[in-house]
Amino acid sequence: MANEIHLTVGGSQRKTWPAGTPVGEVLAALEGETSQRPVAARVNGRLVDLSFPLQEDAILEPVYPGSPEGREIFRHSTSHIMAQAVKALYPGTKITIGPAIEDGFYYDFDAPVSFTPEHLQAIEKMMQEIINADLKVRRRELSREEAKELFRRQGEDYKVEMLEEISDGTVSIYEQGDFVDLCRGPHVPSTKRIAAFKLTGIAGAYWRGDERNKMLQRIYGTSFESRQLLEEHLRRIEEARKRDHRKLGPELDLYSIQEEAGPGLVFWHPKGARLRVTLEDFWRQIHYRSGYDMVFTPHLARVNLWECSGHWEFYRENMFSPMDLDGQKFVVKPMNCPFHILMYKQKLRSYRDLPIRWAELGTVYRYEKSGVLHGLMRVRGFTQDDAHIFCRPDHLEEEILRILDLNVRVLKAFGFSEYAIYLSTRPEKSVGSDEDWEKATSALRAALEKKGLPFEVDSGEGVFYGPKIDIKIRDALRRTWQCSTIQVDFNLPQRFDLSYVASDGSYQRPIMIHRALLGSLERFLGVLIEHYGGAFPVWLAPVQAVVLSITDAHVPYGEGVLASLRESGLRAGGDFRNEKIGYKIREAQQNKVPYMLVIGNREVESGMVAVRERAQGDLGPMSVAQLIERIKKEAEPQS
What pLDDT was estimated at residue 13? 61
Q: Is 386 a residue of the active site?
A: yes
CB atoms within 10 A of CB 346: 7
Of residues 337, 357, 385, 544, which has the active-site annotation?
Answer: 337
Binding-site residues from annotation for Zn(2+) = 337, 388, 514
Catalytic residue of the set 198, 218, 274, 388 = 388
Q: What pLDDT does residue 34 have? A: 47
**613, 595 in Cβ contact below 8 A?**
yes
Residues 6+ apart with CB under 8 A from 426: 437, 441, 460, 462, 467
Domains and CATH numbers, the chain: 4-63 (3.10.20.30), 68-242 (3.30.980.10), 268-295+333-530 (3.30.930.10), 545-634 (3.40.50.800)
CB 573 within 8 A of CB 546: yes
* Separation between Cα atoms, residue 42 and residue 68, nearest integer Å: 13
Which of 633, 611, 608, 613 has its CA nearest to residue 623?
608
**How confident is the model at residue 26, as a pLDDT?**
85
Residue 526 · residue 376 · CB < 8 Å: yes
Alpha-carbon distance 263 to 422, whole Å? 32
Judge whether residue 526 has pLDDT over 70: yes
Is-catalytic flag, 366? yes
State the Cα angle at 441 between 486 and 497, rounded to 5°.
75
Residue 385 confidence (pLDDT) above 70? yes
Binding site, residues? Answer: 337, 388, 514
Instruction: Indicate if the pLDDT at residue 35 is higher than 60.
Output: no
Average pLDDT on 150-173 reads: 93
| Candidates 80, 271, 514, 515; catalytic one | 514
**Which is more confident, 140 or 31?**
140
Compute the Cα dihedral for 47, 48, 50, 55 and give only its sign: negative
> Measured in whole angstroms, how far is the alpha carbon of residue 432 from the centre of its chain?
28
119 is catalytic: no
Contacts for 571 with CB less than 8 Å, ≥ 6 apart? 274, 278, 541, 542, 543, 544, 545
Query: Distance (Å, rounded) from C-alpha 514 to C-alpha 447?
Result: 16
For this structure, is 632 an active site residue?
no
Tell me how many degrees the CA angle 552-553-559 measures, rounded to the nearest 5. Answer: 80
Question: Using one digit for the tens of pLDDT, what is the confidence trace for 297-327?
Answer: 999 999 999 999 888 888 888 899 999 988 8
- Residue in 384, 385, 470, 544 annotated catalytic: 384
Does residue 384 have an active-site annotation?
yes
Establish whether 183 is a catalytic residue: no
* Active-site hit among 108, 385, 386, 470: 386
- Looking at residue 463, its pLDDT comes to 82
pLDDT value at residue 561: 96
Instruction: Estimate the share of the chain in helix, then strand, then coil, as percent rounded to the nearest 5.
Output: 40, 30, 35
Q: Is 148 a catalytic residue?
A: no
Contact (CB, 8 A) for 355 and 395: yes
With a CB cutoff of 8 Å and minimum separation 6, the contacts of 622 are 608, 609, 611, 630
Confidence class for position 212, pLDDT limits 50, 70, 90: confident
- Side-chain half-sphere of 450: how many Cα atoms within 13 Å? 14
* CB count in 10 Å sphere of residue 381: 19
575-578: long-range pairs with CB below 8 Å, 24+ = 575/546, 575/547, 575/548, 575/549, 576/547, 576/549, 576/552, 578/552
